[in-house]
């Protein structure tokens, strides 16, 4: 009888420590990704750090990023946009996710001096480059491929300052 009692007691303790399937099938919480984006007259590159906070069937995200873009429409404008965004990622334990983010960025815009190539004026009377900086809304809609317990993330989507972009990164 004592042997049976000891067996049941030790079995219940052993099985109670089994790995919870919900805990082992989660997305890693931190990611660093690099993206390249373009639209017809604009090109850009960027880097993002993203932190996930899991909830019932989705994740809440905080993203810190920096993007550099160049717009060549009726002149050349260079943009630098550091940003802070908050968002949601659907699908808690799946490989394919939909994500959207929104937040605030600080846009620093510079328009170089007038002229092109060797014809740029170097006189002290020439017009200096124009610099502007102000806060703007930023955001994106994206498809995200990130398998649970894996170290790779692929993102593609549309947004500002990323433009129409493709990005890859590591998760940890």
pTM for this entry: 0.75
Quickly count helices (H) and strands (E) in the chain.
Answer: 2, 8
- Report the Cα–Cα distance between both ends of the chain, in Å, rounded: 50
What CA–CA distance (Å, rounded) separates 26 from 55?
11
How do the pLDDT tens digits run along the chain, 172 residues long?
Answer: 665 555 555 555 444 544 444 556 688 999 999 999 999 999 999 999 999 999 888 999 999 999 999 999 888 899 999 999 999 999 877 899 999 999 999 999 998 765 554 445 444 445 567 899 999 999 999 999 999 989 999 999 999 999 999 999 999 9
| Burial category of 9 from C-beta neighbours within 10 Å (exposed 0-12, middle 13-18, buried 19 and up) | exposed
Which domains can be identified in the chain, with CATH numbers? 26-114+127-171 (2.40.160.20)
């Amino acid at each position: 009888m004592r042997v049976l009692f000891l067996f049941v007691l030790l079995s219940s303790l052993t099985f109670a420590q089994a790995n919870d399937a919900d805990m082992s099938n989660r997305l890693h919480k931190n990611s660093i990704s690099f993206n390249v984006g373009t639209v017809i007259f604009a090109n850009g590159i960027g880097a993002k750090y993203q932190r996930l906070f899991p909830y019932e069937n989705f994740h809440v995200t905080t993203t810190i990023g920096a993007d550099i873009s160049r717009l060549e429409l009726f002149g050349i404008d260079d943009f630098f946009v550091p940003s802070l965004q908050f968002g949601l990622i659907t699908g808690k334990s799946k490989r394919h996710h939909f994500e959207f983010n929104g937040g605030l960025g600080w846009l620093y815009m510079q328009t170089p001096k007038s002229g092109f190539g060797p014809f740029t004026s170097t006189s002290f009377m020439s017009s200096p480059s124009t610099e502007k900086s102000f806060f703007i809304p930023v955001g994106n809609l994206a498809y995200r491929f990130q398998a649970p317990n894996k170290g790779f993330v692929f993102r593609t989507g549309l947004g500002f300052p990323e433009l129409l972009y493709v990005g890859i990164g590591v998760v940890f």
